[in-house]
Structure 1
Amino acid sequence: MTLVEINFDGLVGPSHNYAGLSLGNLAATAHAGEVSYPKAAALQGLAKMRGNMEMGLAQGFFLPLPRPNRRFLDQIAADVQTDHALIAAAWSASSMWTANAATISPAPDTRDGRCHLTAANLVTMAHRFQEWPDTARQLRLAFADEHYFAVHAIVPACFGDEGAANHMRMCLSHGEPGLEIFVYGKPGGRFPARQHEQASRIVARSHGLDPDKVLFVEQNPDAIAAGAFHNDVVAVANERVLFTHELAFADPEGTYAAIREKLPEAEIVVVPASSVSLAEAIRTYLFNAQLLTLPTGEMALIIPTEAHESPAVRTWLDAMLAGNGPIRRVIPVDVKQSMANGGGPACLRLRVVADPDRVDSRFLLTPSTAEMIAAVVEQWWPAQIDPAALGSAALEQDVVRARLRLLEALNLAELA
């Protein structure tokens, strides 16, 4: 069995809109009420997937969830005339940020030698809590082979769990045993701490991880207050490398020491606040990047164009590349539609270390599949959506039809 890292990106759904539902996500709330462009958003995300695939990386995808969510609307008995935020929640396309879909522990790390996946409950926000039943359906379909995968039920909803956006894994190579780092927040600040410590500990126990190969780390409360609603807004890891802002963790030096104790080969690349302020790091999503190992063995950082265009960020990155550090390439990508709603390149993907031959092939991207998806998006995705139109029968017809056309094209009608 050949284990590789597969990045599963969420395809931006046809109901993509800017309703500003995510408290603590500064980009999302700043663009609330603006017109969105679902077709452009989906094509931008697909272009990022294609770019990674063309570099020789394994690439998968997940499908948009059913929207509007009629089950959710029935449960909350929302009034379309008065309950605007609840109606908008039922239309949210936020499942495109698959970093929040689940937490993944690869087979080399687990007691039973299977890859374990726990769907995130996302209980902190109503527009996201509704996602998990349909997300779990996709996980159980894509990773159906129980000899190699174990898909768990969500953590009890009294413990907030936001998935892989608050989880990092470090190792010598993806197929070897690794160190799993769970990052949690503490409540009581300006914005809610979405990842609870107990949720992280429950996931670690459920996955059968070796306690000596696990760390539980507190996120810096100042980072949460500044808009780093998930750890992946201020830190990202890949194999032996941790790329982090100086203010990402409550106890940075203690965190680095603990990592080095458990993984002596670790390389920690710290961006000081004096070079890139916490506010600028969050605004540009420098750390909400994909840190990837290319087939050549080089590490590349896939960053949003917003980061590449920032003078402070660009100056620091140029100096990094001029040195002899572990990150050798920086590749900007245009995901502006996702960025305006608060999600960068890392938000759009879920990392799964597995044998691609054991994954349902309908969820793996190929050049022909990419062409097929692009054709469906071009023909059926709405060109734009004004949040004021959410709840309208005409828009609902367009959104439902677009998703069904995609399921038909991909032979995934069981997700209808």
Structure 2
Amino acid sequence: MSAYQYIIIGGGISGLYAAYLLEQRGITDYLLLEAKSSLGGRLNSAFATDSSGINAAFDLGATWFWEDQQPELSQLIKDLNLSSFEQYTQGEMLIERSSTQPALRTRGFNGESSKRINGGMKALVDQLYARLTADRILLSHQVLQLSYEDHFIQVQVKSQDGQVKNFQTSQVLMAIPPRLAISSIQFTPALPEHFKAQWQNTATWMAPHAKYIAVYQTAFWRDVHLSGNAHSSVGPLVETHDASTIQGAAALFGFIGVASAIRKDLSEAELMRHCRHQLIRLFGQQAATPLHEYLKDWAQDAFVATRDDLNATASHGHAPASTADTGLWKNHLVGIASEFSPHYSGFIAGAIEAARLGIDHASQKIQSIQ
């Protein structure tokens, strides 16, 4: 049985950043386990070639960060030599209250603009991965069970080919959402009930959402002084934004407001057709012929959403306890996903903060034992 000082469960941004922090401290005695065949978790970029032959990235998951409000994430982006640009907000926005009446044009956004990473959030994932020890990462390995025995945690894993493997560690860093951990992993002995309830009752960021992207030859809405930002009480898109890249690839994206229970009975083609028709209502006939369309329904992603997440609200909740305050699991199991962030729960910056706090906590625990 292979043994490691740390085992990280989840290859999203918090898991990758935790591994990055360990390596920055000279620690390579870790293993990162990711159930999917790719890294990134809830950071997911689609790639398309635009009319000029440019390969452009469009984010299907988390998209924005706020440079002044989120200094730790902003510094990481700079340290990784990534560039960023402001979300396009110039021009008027649209308010749609009826499908039979034109949307109301109104004054656009006035406040601190969010920023996007050049190359999409996948660039952040790729740059972190490039700085890690590749053989410390296992893709397509789903954790089935954690068993605490004789001061060590036995980690049972199933690979894509169905093979069951076992690893050992004294420290597990849980980089998947707390609710997903409770629903997908068996804990032996059981977690303390009040602690388990906190994790179970913490909504998973992104889980109820679905996102639609339409890529166009030109950003035609800008020609008529529209920002691409629209809010609708009609739907299916309740909110749209300009998703164009800094290189000039033109796109609109929107959050789908149709409940996940209804979405699951619609085909992807049908749902995209409804979204496209709404863009025609909002922005005119030029919206009828996108070069590419993408749809990501996070509620249908078994490695993100649980049954309890499907009717959740879109708001970011309060962070649960990252580790148990009593019992055998205390300090041996530490949550580091975005939901555990005390200041930015549910944001990319939250994943960065929670990972750093988790590494600090785990390091102090190990030093106290030594």
TM-score between both structures, scaled by the size of structure 1: 0.28
Query: Greater strand percent: which structure?
Result: 2
**Relative contact order, CA 8 A, sep 6+: which one is greater?**
1
Query: Greater helix percent: which structure?
Result: 1
Greater radius of gyration (CA) = 2
TM-score between both structures, scaled by the size of structure 2: 0.30
